[in-house]
A and B are shown apart, each in its own frame.
Chain A
């Protein structure tokens, strides 16, 4: 791989013909490529090993795909319905994301465009909640879900998503930077109610910010492990991270099946990243620098 890149460096910037600099460039590329390989290898192993039988895995180190993919898939489906988990993950993540986006935007708009009493103090309060670790209220969360009869329901994982402080912060930054007060005023002159103005006019203008935030919130919810571990009890409601953990219990010694399960749980994220990587990376940077 390094050989492939080397000619590029020599062809690249002819403006600075210092051979000393170029050798250091080669080392830099070797370093980058090695790190990239380290990033990819575990995923390669996961996919390759998912296609092998247990006895093949137990006997030697494997580089190439095997032929046991279907066999592993069938033995996995006997005890663990991975598609059910996929659906559960999808339902929980989509609903959580929708709540985070809508109520985050609603709240951000309230803070950004209405100068009510206590605006600043309440906004700082919202920001401060971002610093509180989630585990602090873990036991209490279990309790309130019990009191509201929400234990072992999707709602227990979805409803709290409506109060996402980071979403408020993120969308408010966007509103402050892009939406002038005149838009609201002209809507008011036209006689539109405040909520109608928000839903019909403001919300569509927030789409770029909501798209970036939505990807984040979706991934966060998709990867959530501790929430469902504490709040769900029925296997048929488990999202993927919990189902994968269940595989460990059912197939403690069948490695091929476990590799396949892990691979299937990670695959949607690989696909999503392949499509949205630029946008995801861009919004990580925005969120961090403004914070």
Chain B
């Protein structure tokens, strides 16, 4: 009996094998091969030629890489700060007993999150276009401006527009996650604090917020990983151009364009790895910083 039972455990390998085979072929190999390509020069024809770290040297001195990185960071920071705060406020509000229509509000706020990002980019592009955009027409109707403003030609406006799309798509998602976190906090604890004379604001800052810390760390790190990879919305918003003056060219757009429109596959791979390293560094920094704050609060 015993030896038979032991044998059964080996079936586990058969159950996990298909996943790992697919993962090695379509997940691991592409990453390893990209790394190999990042050390070589290849235009898609013939075979790649190893050139050592030349691509990385080029990357370190590449103005456009830094510009794309700046654009990405700018867009991310401007979207993520309101995203994580507004969603927290909403979560606390929608967790209150007295609110009516909670599930309807949750559904409406969450909905933009599941809409095709590429379609949204195009839609916002149409609404904010120069000559026939409904935003300009609304402003003219309201008498705020007399002639249409060429919004797509304003670098900071376009960056803010992408930030707004991201905020609009993700605040509901963050809210749902905060609500799930709030549901894990016992109501007795909060009610006990209120009976002891703590105000709602005090309860929020002294009890709720510290208990939500792990959820906040989770949200910040996933938003870094996601935010550094913004692609769909700026791509369709600007018809793939990154205009005006490359102000909306994000890091992944730069990677895509380098590899797949200029056919510099080697350099494109180096951009991917450069970006990956930056994502890892940012994730570690934010994890350490947020964890340290928790320890401070406890001690």
Contacts and interface: CB of A to CB of B under 8 A. Distances in A.
B236 A288 contact: no
B127 A144 contact: no
Interface string A256-291: 001100100110010001000110110011101101
B8 interface: yes
Given A54-B132, A110-B12, A262-B123, A135 B255 contact: yes
A192 to B, nearest CB: 12
Contacts of A57: 132, 134
B225 interface: yes
B180 interface: yes
B297 interface: no
A230 B15 contact: no
Given A138-B259, A288-B218, A289-B181, A262 B126 contact: yes
Residue of A115, A141, A163 contacting most chain B CB atoms (<10 Å)? A163
Contacts of A62: 134
B128 to A, nearest CB: 11
A52 to B, nearest CB: 10
A266 B108 contact: no
Contacts of A285: 176-177, 179-180, 183
A110 B12 CA distance: 4
| Chain B interface category by residue count | 35 or more
Given A39-B111, A135-B252, A244-B119, A160 B27 contact: yes
Interface in A191-213: 194-195, 198
Contacts of B132: 54, 57-58, 255
B231 A225 contact: yes
Interface in B47-91: 90
B33 A144 contact: yes
B106 to A, nearest CB: 6
Contacts of B184: 289
B8 A269 contact: no
Contacts of A134: 229
Interface string B103-139: 1011111111011111110111111010110100110
Interface in A62-116: 62, 103-104, 106-107, 109-111, 113-116
Given A36-B109, A141-B30, A262-B119, A194 B256 contact: no
B103 A140 contact: no
Given A60-B137, A284-B176, A284-B177, A223 B259 contact: no
A244 B34 contact: no
Nearest to A38: B168
Given A137-B27, A240-B116, A248-B236, A116 B134 contact: no
B249 interface: no
B170 to A, nearest CB: 12
A258 B119 CA distance: 10
B99 A28 contact: yes
Contact of B122 (A32, A163, A258): A258
Q: Does more than half of chain A's interface fall in helix, strand or loop, or is it mixed? A: helix
A232 interface: no
B254 to A, nearest CB: 11
B173 interface: yes
B114 A103 contact: no
Contact of B26 (A32, A139, A163): A163
A280 B22 contact: no
A96 to B, nearest CB: 12
A114 B176 contact: no
B16 interface: yes
Given A133-B228, A162-B19, A262-B119, A138 B11 contact: no
15 contacts: A12-B100, A13-B98, A32-B90, A39-B108, A39-B172, A42-B123, A57-B134, A141-B30, A225-B231, A225-B232, A265-B119, A266-B115, A269-B114, A278-B103, A288-B218
Interface of A: 5, 8-9, 12-13, 25, 28, 31-32, 35-36, 38-40, 42-43, 45-46, 49, 54, 57-58, 60-62, 103-104, 106-107, 109-111, 113-116, 119, 122, 126, 129, 131-144, 159-160, 162-163, 168, 188, 194-195, 198, 219, 222-223, 225-226, 229-230, 240-242, 244-245, 247-249, 255, 258-259, 262, 265-266, 269, 273, 277-278, 280-281, 284-286, 288-289, 291
10 A-B pairs with least C-beta separation: A114-B12, A110-B15, A140-B30, A137-B30, A285-B180, A140-B33, A163-B23, A160-B26, A140-B34, A61-B137
Interface of B: 8-16, 18-20, 22-23, 25-27, 29-34, 37, 90, 93, 97-101, 103, 105-112, 114-120, 122-127, 129, 131-132, 134, 137-138, 140-141, 168, 172-173, 176-177, 179-181, 183-184, 215, 218, 225, 228-229, 231-232, 235-236, 239-240, 252, 255-256, 259-260, 265, 268-269, 272-273, 275-276, 279
Given A106-B16, A139-B34, 15 more contacts: A58-B132, A62-B134, A107-B15, A138-B259, A139-B259, A140-B37, A163-B22, A226-B256, A241-B232, A244-B116, A244-B122, A245-B118, A262-B122, A266-B119, A284-B177
